[in-house]
Amino acid sequence: VGYEFHPLLMAKITGTINYVSGGRLGVNIVAAHDPVDYAQFGFEQARTPAERYEIADEFTTLLKYLWTSEHPIDFEGDYFRTRGGQINPRPASKPRPLLINAAGSDLGIDYACRQCDAIFISARDRTQEAYAAMAEKIHSTAASYGRKVRICAMCYVVMEDTDEKAAETVNWLADEVDIDALKNQFWRNKPVYHQDQGEADDPYLGLGLDWFRARGLGMGGYQLFGSYETVADQLAGLHEAGVEHVALCFFDPNKGVQQMGEHVIPLLRERGLRATS
Ligand SMILES: Cc1cc2nc3c(=O)[nH]c(=O)nc-3n(C[C@H](O)[C@H](O)[C@H](O)COP(=O)(O)O)c2cc1C
């Protein structure tokens, strides 16, 4: 939202897709921070965190009015204005489409807890304990506003018949990580800093082996690696940690979706974590 796309445009696009899909659209609000992205949109510099979340707040408030109001609305904010703003068709989802966010900062989490329905969490050490602590913090912040916000985790999944086979695949994938893509992601907005630190010559880009592999295998998301039983156990662990949704990313999506349906979901049903019908 930092690039000042007008909420009316976003309400029209998302409202229409939600309507024609019978409600199968939610919106992930990103309060962008990357200076390269700002430059591409013609801004001289990235906005400060405080400004990004002020814009996000106002954007979300107006978006909600536009999605839900049966009448044209007037809105006068610091960043956005509309006179007689209205969309048609309105979303099929009632009261409105799902709003999700992936803030990491305290400021961002505060915004998400006030304005969104769900939040993606991540923790650098990728353990059940670290995710439980994040989930607890978010649930209690939301509760302080009298709200309930659901916790989501983005996961990278590599599954095989056995743990050993999955480990082989993971090792092979780790050897094949696209170093240039990772370098671009990490250095494009801070090349001088990293080169000054001598990190240009470091095969792990100054991240250390563990975090380098985590970024290369799933962008730092929670890693679900192993047999179907192991993956089901790990998903049950996330559930125990307070995670209420998962976005699963597969190395091979066609195979991964099939493996989930045939092998993992039945195991989750046995554990009472999926509806039985
Ligand atoms: C599914 C998903 C999609 C994301 N898409 C973007 C994106 O398009 N652009 C971006 O800068 N960050 C994206 N992010 C990362 C964070 O949402 C974003 O960097 C956020 O501003 C970080 O939190 P902070 O503002 O509290 O520091 C995405 C994260 C997730 C989980």
For 24-37, what is the mean pLDDT? Answer: 91
Which residue pairs, CB below 8 angstroms and at least 24 apart, start in 45-50?
A: 46/2, 47/2, 49/105, 49/107, 49/108, 50/107
For 45-74, what is the mean pLDDT? Answer: 96
Ligand 1: residue whose CA is nearest its atom 9: 32
107-144 burial, b if ≥16 CB within 10 A, otherwise e?
Answer: bbbbbbbbbbbbbbbbbeebebebbbebbeebbebbee
Digit-coded pLDDT (tens) for 120-174: 998 878 899 999 999 999 999 999 999 999 999 999 999 999 999 999 999 999 9
Q: Is 204 a residue whose pLDDT tops 80?
A: no
- Of residues 185 and 76, more confidence is placed in 76
| Percentage with pLDDT > 70 across the chain | 95
Q: Is 192 a residue whose pLDDT tops 50?
A: no
61 lines ligand 1 (CB under 6 A): no
Ligand 1: residue whose CA is nearest its atom 20: 103
Average pLDDT, the chain: 91
**How much distance in Å is there from the Cα of 103 to the middle of ligand 1?**
7
Pocket test for ligand 1, best of 10, 27, 29, 33 (most atoms within 8 A of CB): 33
Query: How confident is the model at residue 184, as a pLDDT?
Result: 77
For 73-102, what is the mean pLDDT? Answer: 97
How much is the pTM? 0.89
Query: How confident is the model at residue 214, as a pLDDT?
Result: 84
Name residue 39's beta-bridge partners: none
Could you identify the atom of ligand 1 that is nearest to the CA of residue 53? Answer: 25
Cβ neighbors of 204 (< 8 A, separation 6 or more) are: 211, 212
Could you identify the atom of ligand 1 that is nearest to the CA of residue 30? Answer: 17
Query: How confident is the model at residue 2, as a pLDDT?
Result: 85
**How much distance in Å is there from the Cα of 47 to the middle of ligand 1?**
14
Digit-coded pLDDT (tens) for 1-17: 888 899 999 999 999 99
220 lines ligand 1 (CB under 6 A): no
Cβ neighbour number for residue 102 with a 10 Å cutoff: 19
